[in-house]
Chains A and B, each alone.
Chain A
């Protein structure tokens, strides 16, 4: 008999909602999505006892031909905020940053943003057309694309509207919701330069217009300098084929620039001598200032950081003592050179430790270990990049831009850690 048949294991575990409610009643911890790991240890599995997993054989190979995370990680999922958008097909969900570590985002957890749902393309019928100001308009199959010399590059992708709900003040309790429209994977693909050169650019080629093959026909204008610099047409992410929701079978990669330009399900690139002023670069993805004027072609994602643990979905559950603070930093202009953190709301700052690869236009992981005395904390982080840019406060941004920008909110985030270990999203003086 396996132990799971024994009565003590047969007791139904309380639902997560009940756990949350219990947690709220008991400790007043934040009751937000993604939090709750309140399971009590089973003495049967603890020393000096010998657990079942040490005694009996586990499942064999091929139990899961495509491997999945442990069932104990079932809460680690993308989540959405339903009231943000009118439909599910033109909507957004968020990467669970508080549950991840390192700098690579697992493919299944990369946030989604679609404007016409996920296009279901088959690789056999996939075509990429290059037309406009080229010597010879061309059509490539996916196999054609895979015959170009390839490159592997690690880049973050951030939606321009990441943290957009926080312009007017603290609103959402969880870094998944305030900062989760970012991910970072390794792309394998072809430098866009090679593809454009294959068609031959005319001398008056100044802009390109990538266009998606989805029902939104997503189109943007990209200056030719960027197209020839570091853009890629990618067909792999983290070594495997792009996920459908990330543009399978091929997408554009526009390193350091806002995610909307990274056209998924890429079907066509037109070359032109002026920008198109598409809907997504006029009506949307322009930054309305307090003056009533709006900035356009605001492509770069400036340096930004966020503490992912502790955070509202990841409270401190171990009590006072040794505590690990960690977070992410990134810059669309290059490498992150330094991250400072404060525990006291900015009275005193400490330089955090960046660990892992430090690559341009990629996520950086930082840590700061400290001895928590159990008192209230006000946590912030600020990132610096190799252009000399330092992440501003939200109030500094508001002073320049007002509160109607929606996009490009890279202001410093504040978490309030309470004595019980719960964490809330706040702003401070």
Chain B
């Protein structure tokens, strides 16, 4: 076969993908089956999309929480050691030390379900049943005084009726919040008469040394 023919033969087996950039279907990937999607589709939204069928009470949640969560988060969701505090913290958001808990800060209940199911308990993610997850969320609502009845049962049916206390505590990003060059041209010469050092890192002395040790303090 002549070299020319060889080239022709090769060319015939190649559909033209020169315009591939954004040109649409390339025939890549395989269709995901409903079963495949169901196994991975674990996200839950504020409008309830993604909630599985299930239910759990505060009392049931207390038991699961004690077994699976309390080692890090404390029996009453008060937090153990450096691990996150999950309850309380009301009226602290304007203070020097805000305590951002599910009750004081989180705007939507769906986030609690979504996060617990996908990543907790730490080191054994996606191991809870829907009923266990509903029960833990119910217990956390109770510990945060969002529900006050210890016989309260949370389910996929009443889930979206729960409103979190800090739902209105968020605003959209309104940066830039400092002047642009067009508004204030930065000074280049003789910009100030005197400069004084006002703060020094060494006062806190929290920089790790070569062993990673530090005499430091925790700041959060």
- With contacts A216-B119, A291-B94 taken as known, whether A171 is within 8 angstroms of B204 at the C-beta atoms is yes
* Known pairs A173-B202, A282-B106, A427-B199; A215 contacts B29 (CB<8 A): no
Q: Which of B46, B119, B181, B214 interacts with A390 by CB under 8 Å?
A: B181
Find chain A residues with CB under 8 A from B32 CB.
129-131, 137-139
B114 and A278 form a contact (CB under 8 A): yes
Instruction: Establish whether residues A80 and B212, one from each chain, have CB atoms under 8 Å apart when the complex forms.
Output: yes
- Choice from A85, A267, A293 contacting B171 with Cβ under 8 Å: A293
Tell me which residues across on chain A come within 8 A of B81, comparing CB atoms.
Answer: 86
A371 smallest CB distance to B (angstroms)? 19
Residue pair B176, A348 in contact (C-beta under 8 Å): no
Chain A residue at smallest Cβ distance from B98: A404
Give the chain B neighbours of A217 by CB distance below 8 A.
Answer: 42, 118-119, 125-126
Q: Does A38 contact B (CB under 8 A)?
A: no
- Check if B107 sits within 8 Å of A282, measured CB to CB: yes
B94 to A283, Cβ gap below 8 A? Answer: no
Q: Is the CB of B41 within 8 A of A382?
A: no
Contact B22 A429 (CB under 8 A): no
Give the distance in Å from the alpha carbon of A213 to the alpha carbon of B207 in the complex.
Answer: 34
Q: How far is the CA of A312 from the CA of B201 in the complex (A)?
A: 10
Encoded as 1 (CB less than 8 Å from any A CB) or 0, chain B from 15 to 43 comes to 00000111011101111100011001111
Contact A390–B180 (Cβ < 8 Å): yes
Residues from chain A with Cβ under 8 Å of B105 in the complex: 282-283, 294
Please indicate the chain B residues that have their CB under 8 angstroms from the CB of A272 in the complex: 45, 49
- Tell me the count of chain B residues lying within 8 A, CB to CB, of chain A: 92
How many Cβ-Cβ contacts under 8 Å join chain A to chain B?
A: 277
- Give chain A interface residues in 374-409, CB to chain B under 8 Å: 378, 382, 384, 387-390, 392, 396-397, 400-401, 403-404, 408
Per-residue contact bits, chain A 78-121, to B (CB 8 Å; 1 contact, 0 not): 01111111110110000000000000000000000001100000
Question: Assuming A211-B43, A388-B181, A429-B195, is B171 touching A216 (CB within 8 A)?
Answer: no
Chain A residues with CB below 8 A from B218, complex form: 83
Q: Across the two chains, which residue of chain A brings its CB closest to B180?
A: A388
| A180-218 at interface with B (beta carbon < 8 Å) | 193-194, 197-200, 209, 211, 215-217
Question: How many A residues have CB within 8 A of the partner chain?
Answer: 108
Q: What is the CA–CA distance of A177 and B209 in the complex, to the nearest angstrom?
A: 12
- With a cutoff of 8 Å between Cβ atoms, the chain B residues found around residue A32 in the complex are 207, 209
Q: Which of A5-13, A43-51, A142-150 contacts B (4 or more CB under 8 A)?
A: A142-150
- A76 contacts B by Cβ under 8 Å: no
Any B CB within 8 A of the CB of A426: yes
Hey, which chain B residues are within 8 Å of A276, CB to CB?
43-46, 114
Asked whether A425 is an interface residue with its Cβ less than 8 Å from the other chain, the reply is: yes
Per-residue CB contact flags for chain B residues 84-105 toward chain A (1 = under 8 Å, else 0) read 0000000001101010101001
Asked if B174 is at the interface of the complex by the 8 Å CB criterion, the answer is yes
Any A CB within 8 A of the CB of B13: no
Q: Mind listing 28 A-B residue pairs with CB under 8 Å?
A: A16-B210, A17-B209, A17-B211, A33-B212, A83-B216, A129-B32, A129-B37, A131-B37, A148-B26, A197-B25, A198-B26, A198-B29, A217-B118, A217-B126, A276-B114, A278-B114, A288-B100, A290-B94, A294-B105, A294-B170, A302-B176, A346-B195, A347-B191, A349-B186, A349-B188, A378-B195, A390-B180, A429-B194
Which residues on B are within 8 Å of A, measured CB to CB?
Answer: 20-22, 24-26, 28-32, 36-37, 40-47, 49, 72, 81-83, 93-94, 96, 98, 100, 102, 105-108, 110-111, 114-115, 118-119, 122-123, 125-126, 169-182, 186-202, 204, 206-214, 216-220
